[in-house]
Amino acid sequence: MPNAEINTGLVFDIVRYMIEDGPGIRTCVFFKGCPLRCKWCSNALGLEPWDEIAYINNKCLKCHDCLAVCSKHALSKDDQGHVQIDYTKCNKCGDCVQVCESAALQVIGKKYSVDELMKIVDRDRVFYRREGGGVTVTGGEILMQAGFVYKFLKKCQESYISTAIETSAYGQWNMLEPILRVTDFIFIDLKHVDSKIHFDLTGVSNELILQNIQATSAFCLDNPTDFIIRIPVVTGLNDDLSELVKTAKFLQKLQGVKPEVNLLPYHPYGINKYCWVGKNYELQSVVPPSGEHLQNLSSLFIEKGLKCTVGGSEVSSFQLNKL
């Protein structure tokens, strides 16, 4: 069991009544911190493995009470009266958040114990039972808090709550494998099968990810678990047909369970959150892939003998589990 001594997890969001990332109605727990820096990432608030002060400018009343209470002089205002945060000075004390009546300033990231999270997810137990739903842990990257995630999922299963994980699988197998044992639905993201291109797109190579996909495929032979490979389809970056043929061949050759492929079209939602925490978003001009292109890509995988669906809520394994 990985990092068993960890008793709290750092979470940046908990979203109830989700209908993606697993079957039925779900509660999604978003863990903070990710070692990847995918150029298209829509979860800017989940990248850093620590709590942050965010500034949401369209909520700001421009009263500037926050400037007066900042002992580190990390806050200033621009010519339009919007607050600027100097993150090199900010010590995240939260004094500015306390005086912000409009919640334009917020602390992103909160520590929870397993019991505290269980109290939250247990509120929706009736929906899980009726719709075959449950809890999904995602991020960020859950393997950065593997010990706590294992404890939380184990508690969910002991409480008869179905579990799902979404992971990049960028971590050691001895961190991932115990988590798989307390998981009913496995989603592994595969950004690109070529290691060099993967590095260019995410900041890390993919050798460890590919090894973990192979190991997960073998694991599922003896531990029946729904296994889905998710591929984000980003126009001009990883949607080249010849490269996706290589991805299909890699998945086709897995020695264990063949995963279902789920294509997730790029979307621009979440771009604004980058400026909330002082980050820049690189892909301002990228447009979502067309429906026709997505269907062509789907056909490519199906022709290779793999199940393939488009969109987060259309996974065929979800439908089978309702029967």
Domains for the chain: give ranges and CATH numbers.
8-48+110-322 (3.20.20.70), 52-106 (3.30.70.20)
Choose the weakest-confidence range: 63-67, 131-135, 234-238: 131-135
DSSP string, 78-142: -TTS-EEE-TTT-----HHHHH-TT--EEEE-EEEEHHHHHHHHGGGHHHHHHHT-EEEEEES-G
Cβ-contact 3, 148 below 8 angstroms? yes
Q: Is the pLDDT of residue 80 over 60?
A: yes
Burial 248-269 (b: 16+ CB within 10 A, else e): beebeebebbbbbbbbbbbeee
Rounded distance between C-alpha atoms, residue 168 and residue 154, angstroms: 20
Q: Is the pLDDT of residue 141 over 90?
A: yes
Average pLDDT value for residue range 299-318? 83
- Reading phi first (left if > 0) and then psi (alpha if -120 to 50, else beta), residue 215 is in alpha
Beta strand 260-265 with 226-233 is: parallel
Q: Is the pLDDT of residue 323 over 80?
A: no
pLDDT value at residue 314: 60
**Quick one: the chain helix, strand, coil %, rounded to 5?**
35, 20, 40
- The pLDDT > 90 percentage for the chain reads 87
Q: Is the pLDDT of residue 260 over 80?
A: yes
Q: Is the pLDDT of residue 322 over 80?
A: no
Instruction: Indicate the pLDDT class of residue 138, thresholds 50, 70 and 90.
Output: very high
For the chain, the average pLDDT equals 93
Instruction: Indicate the pLDDT class of residue 312, thresholds 50, 70 and 90.
Output: low
Cβ-contact 96, 64 below 8 angstroms? no
- Residue 107's DSSP bridge partners are 53
Of residues 152, 129, 126, 165, the one with CA closest to residue 28: 165
Length of the chain equals 323
Rounded distance between C-alpha atoms, residue 24 and residue 186, angstroms: 15
pLDDT value at residue 309: 94
Rounded distance between C-alpha atoms, residue 225 and residue 88, angstroms: 45
- Residue 15's DSSP bridge partners are 28
pLDDT value at residue 132: 85
Average pLDDT value for residue range 209-225? 96
Q: What is the pLDDT of residues 268-280, one digit of tens each?
A: 888 999 999 999 9
Instruction: Find the helix or strand (DSSP H, E) in which 54 lies.
Output: strand 52-55
Cβ-in-10-Å burial (0-12, 13-18, 19+) of 66 comes to buried
Token readout for 284 is: 């301002």
Q: Is the pLDDT of residue 13 over 60?
A: yes
Rounded distance between C-alpha atoms, residue 125 and residue 152, angstroms: 16
Average pLDDT value for residue range 99-118? 97
Q: Is the pLDDT of residue 193 over 70?
A: yes
Cβ-in-10-Å burial (0-12, 13-18, 19+) of 78 comes to exposed
- The pLDDT > 70 percentage for the chain reads 95
Cis upstream peptide for 203 (omega within 30°) = no
Which DSSP letter does residue 168 get?
-
Q: Is the pLDDT of residue 313 over 80?
A: no
Rounded distance between C-alpha atoms, residue 69 and residue 88, angstroms: 17
Tell me, rounded to whole angstroms, the distance of Cα 121 from its chain centroid: 18
Token readout for 218 is: 């073998």
